[in-house]
Copies of this chain bind each other. A is one copy, B any other.
């Protein structure tokens, strides 16, 4: 038990330092004056090095080794057994990557990000190419640090979706792609013109800040700030930071806020006992994303939710929405409409953007696509997948930040999140048969509490698949509920 105490002490300190890095990252994106960039990068690099050195200290390995017997004597589900088990997995992964490769990757990510910002601004893919090439090379070296899997790409995927193989994702996407293409092709046209116009950002802010407490956020444990690219982070389950973006000409801040609120509720709901341990997070990006999508879409685009909230929204924007009835509003926010930009995509087309990137990423890593040809291939596939013509690389292959920072393997988790959200939602429906009535009455707390008790509170104690199995009875990623949901939605939009 002394060893466990020692391990917990070391992990608590590492967690404290990671939280500190989290504050620095949040502050950089929310309030830092621009000339602070260089000094902030230095602080973050040093903190990252200290955290990595402390976590890969061989003494952690010795402690984990000595704790094997204790682990086996404990209940698999207990906090202690889970801590030892998950820490061992993280430790073994962290030790496989040489420090100098990590340093190189961090450096390439930083300069790649800078190059991407410029390239996107100037619609100049060629200037970004050397940086992308460097990131891809480093990712190949990174893959070599691990035991061979079904496919090389799996090592990258594992950083974001632990335990998932490329083959499994391919299978899921093989079902999704034709079905989604079909749905999008036949999507009814819906009038959404009233969602574009002048929407005072300050009024948007007031409206979305009203939404958050009813979702289950405790007073004094969160804040919401405006930022260029919305994100959510947390420094404990009692310090959750949401960000959103208020545009002058639409209401996207509502769903952007609900999306980040889903991530935020996850962080907010993690059990106190898991704080200051590596278990104080979500099992994977996909599982985490399933909850942002739940609150953004399954709740936030549902008729019952807006039965309660549409009145307040109309009162906030009487000129724009006063003459639009609830039915027309709900139809508009659920329409499917192919577009160029992933982050602006609707629920139905969204996963097609992801599948395109997933396929391209594998090609990049395997070398089956020459990097120089990327824009052409991108544009051809956008036409094939979504039927749209790409007018510029800035709105095409350069639109996303991920590759600039070496984030290859990340994209598929977005679509997996969509799929998983519906698998969990089926269980929610069973557990809360009156959910629609609750939502229509403005009661979001029963849903929020159920998800907290059955999912969020578990933190990272279990793998994504273990977590899914506990919740749904099966660890398989099943795209059918998601497709059925979208199919019903499209049917509901068809003119009567």
Contacts and interface: CB of A to CB of B under 8 A. Distances in A.
Interface string A163-203: 00000000000000000000000000000000000000000
B221 A39 contact: no
A437 B193 CA distance: 60
A72 interface: no
A247 interface: no
A47 B35 contact: no
B43 A16 contact: yes
B42 A16 contact: yes
Q: Is the interface of A mostly helix, strand, loop or mixed?
A: helix
Contacts of A275: 39
Interface in A1-49: 12-13, 16-17, 19-21, 23-24, 27, 31-36, 38-40, 42-43, 45-47, 49
A308 interface: no
B47 A17 contact: yes
Interface string A208-219: 000000000010
A235 interface: yes
Given A32-B239, A223-B31, A20 B19 contact: no
Protomer copies:
2
A273 to B, nearest CB: 14
A43 B20 contact: yes
A394 interface: no
A17 B46 contact: yes
A23 B43 contact: yes
Contacts of A218: 35
B220 A50 contact: no
A482 interface: no
A236 interface: yes
B39 A239 contact: yes
Contact of A221 (B12, B35, B238): B35
B220 A33 contact: yes
A451 to B, nearest CB: 21
A425 interface: no
A222 interface: yes
A276 B239 contact: no
B31 A16 contact: no
A35 B223 contact: no
A47 B16 CA distance: 8
Contacts of A40: 235, 239
A243 to B, nearest CB: 12
Given A23-B27, A33-B221, A222-B33, A16 B46 contact: yes
Given A16-B47, A20-B20, A35-B218, A42 B276 contact: yes
A13 B49 CA distance: 10
Contacts of A31: 31, 223
Contacts of A34: 220
Contacts of A27: 23, 27
Which among A17, A33, A235, A238 has the greatest number of chain B C-beta atoms within 10 A?
A33
B276 A35 contact: no
A239 B13 contact: no
Q: Which of A12, A19, A39, A222 has the most CB of B within 10 A?
A: A39
Contact of A20 (B24, B38, B240): B24
A239 B17 contact: no
Contacts of A46: 12-13, 16-17, 20
Nearest to A36: B239
25 contacts: A12-B46, A13-B49, A16-B45, A16-B47, A17-B43, A17-B46, A19-B39, A20-B24, A20-B46, A20-B47, A23-B24, A27-B27, A33-B223, A33-B240, A34-B220, A35-B218, A35-B221, A35-B238, A36-B221, A36-B239, A39-B236, A39-B238, A39-B276, A43-B235, A50-B50
Interface of A: 12-13, 16-17, 19-21, 23-24, 27, 31-36, 38-40, 42-43, 45-47, 49-50, 218, 220-223, 235-236, 238-240, 275-276
List the 4 shortest-distance A-B pairs measured between CB atoms, nearest first: A36-B239, A39-B236, A16-B46, A35-B238
Given A17-B43, A39-B238, A39-B239, 12 more contacts: A16-B42, A17-B47, A20-B20, A20-B24, A23-B24, A23-B27, A31-B223, A32-B239, A38-B236, A38-B238, A40-B235, A40-B239
